[in-house]
Amino acid sequence: MAGQDGGQDGGQDSEQGGSYVEKGGFNRDMNYVPDRITQDGRRPEHGPVEGELWPVEPGRYRLVAAAACPWANRAIIVRGLLGLQDVISMGLTGPTHDERSWTFDLDEGGRDPVLGYERLQEAYLKRFPDYSRGITVPAMVEESSGELVTNDFPWITHDFFHEWRDFHSADAPDLWPTDLREEMEEVMKRVFTEVNNGVYRCGFAGDQESYQDAYDRLWTAMDWLEERLASRRFLMGDAITEADVRLFTTLARFDAVYHGHFKANRVKLTEMPQLWGYARDLFQTAGFGETIDFAQIKTHYYVVHKDINPTQVVPAGPEPDVWLEPHGRG
């Protein structure tokens, strides 16, 4: 079964292009609905325009996400940091899904209260009756029509910042600082290919050679991050950027899921002083920690990935209280 936490477990290895294929290895499908939501439906200043352009309009769109999914978790965090809660509504699915779709089993009656759907699949099929790819979160859905707009997760958060600026809160952080953008893009690319996606390459490796290659690549990147964070509070310096959001959602799941379930087990996150302090620093920052639901995260991975965990037994630990210990990075 294709895993649906942000994409089918098959496809490309870069958020914005670049294929990665290996024998017995993992391919993430990055072929999403490429529509963009922009100011006045304009051509965006950054990135490709391969689909339709939709205008920014408060109250028109609903972000459908899942607390369990690291890719959707990004969108939840960025929406909150920018203060977009009153202009973009949000629906949350439950932590598990079957081969068809994520479901709204957390809501009363098992239906999203705005869209009226039991399954996110309904929004995809409403727009594309013959849609045959993975039903992924996050997804932007037009409330009035109930149709999917886009599920292209890297651009969803990018456009929350660049295209919804008129509706940001007064204290919204500058998640994409102009003077750091070029370096930030390089950092985010490495974080995605080697860490965000790297844990999946470990977990879904089909043979020992592929696993060893994935494991080595992951820990080379983790060591690079440990060294980088020894001389700066956040990935790009003294302030939080989207690069930190993108790394955080993987770190938050590392010891609870990736260390054991995905065999990314050289050491635990708690055993890497800089990364562990950094992760706690973010967790204790408003907009981050409150989006993390460890019970849903563990339920998703250990129940949905039956090929890796056929018993579907969900581990009891680790204890989450350690995330609230002083981080010492201020």
291 domain-assigned? no
Question: What b/e string do you get for 275-305 counting C-beta neighbours within 10 Å, with b at 16 or more?
Answer: bbbbbbbbbebebbbebbbbebbbbbbbbbb
Residue 27 domain-assigned (yes or no):
no
Q: Which SS3 state, helix, strand or coil, does residue 234 take? A: strand
Domain assignment present for residue 263? The answer is yes
Catalytic annotation present for 200: yes
- Is the pLDDT assigned to residue 270 strictly greater than 90? yes
Say if residues 82 and 157 touch (Cβ distance below 8 Å). no
49 shares its domain with 121: yes
Residue 91 lies in a domain: yes
pLDDT beyond 70 at 14: no
Q: Across the chain, what does the average pLDDT equal?
A: 93
Which is the catalytic residue, given 61, 124, 200, 258?
Answer: 200
Is the residue at 44 inside a domain? yes
User: Are 133 and 212 found together in one domain?
Assistant: no
Per-residue pLDDT averaged across 173-199, rounded? 98
**pLDDT surpasses 60 at 330:** yes
**Does a structural domain hold residue 210?**
yes
Residue 280 sits in the same domain as residue 207: yes
The pLDDT of residue 21 is above 80: no
**How does strand 89-92 pair with strand 61-65?**
parallel
Q: Is the pLDDT of residue 135 over 50?
A: yes
**Whether the predicted pLDDT of 12 surpasses 90:** no
Q: For residues 11-34, give the mean pLDDT.
A: 58
pLDDT of amino acid 23 = 54
Calculate mean pLDDT across residues 78-97: 98
What was the pLDDT predicted at 24?
A: 72
Q: Are residues 144 and 257 in the same domain?
A: no
Model pLDDT, residue 96:
95
Q: Of the residues 32, 69, 301, 302, which is catalytic? A: 69
User: Does position 79 have pLDDT exceeding 70, yes or no?
Assistant: yes
Query: Among 120, 144, 167, which residue terminates a domain?
Result: 167
The mean pLDDT of 229-252, rounded to a whole number, is: 98
Domain that holds residue 161: 36-167
Pick from 83, 69, 56: which is nearest to 140 by CA?
A: 56
> Given a cut of 80, is residue 304 above it in pLDDT?
yes
**Any domain includes 49:** yes
In this prediction, residue 320 has a pLDDT band, given cuts at 50, 70 and 90, of very high
Residue 5 has pLDDT above 90, yes or no: no
| Spatial distance between the Cα atoms of 78 and 318, rounded to a whole number of angstroms | 26
Please check the confidence at residue 81 and state whether its pLDDT lies above 70: yes
Same domain, yes or no, for 209 and 277?
A: yes
Give residue 16's pLDDT.
36
**Based on the domain organization, do 53 and 84 belong to the same domain?**
yes
- Are both 121 and 49 inside the same structural domain? yes
CB 66 within 8 A of CB 137: yes
Question: Same domain for 83 and 150?
Answer: yes
Instruction: Kindly state whether residues 223 and 151 are assigned to the same domain.
Output: no
CATH number of the domain that residue 246 is part of:
1.20.1050.10
User: Which residue among 167, 193, 226 closes a domain?
Assistant: 167
H or E segment to which residue 55 belongs = strand 53-55
Do 63 and 115 reside in the same domain of the chain? yes
**Cα–Cα distance for residue pair 40/94, rounded to 1 Å:** 33
CA 186 – CA 89 distance, rounded (Å):
32
Dihedral over alpha carbons 312, 318, 323, 325 (to 10 degrees): 170
Q: Is 69 tagged catalytic? A: yes
pLDDT of residue 55: 98
- Mean pLDDT throughout 36-41? 97
Same domain, 193 and 264: yes
15 found inside a domain: no
Q: Count of domains in the chain?
A: 2
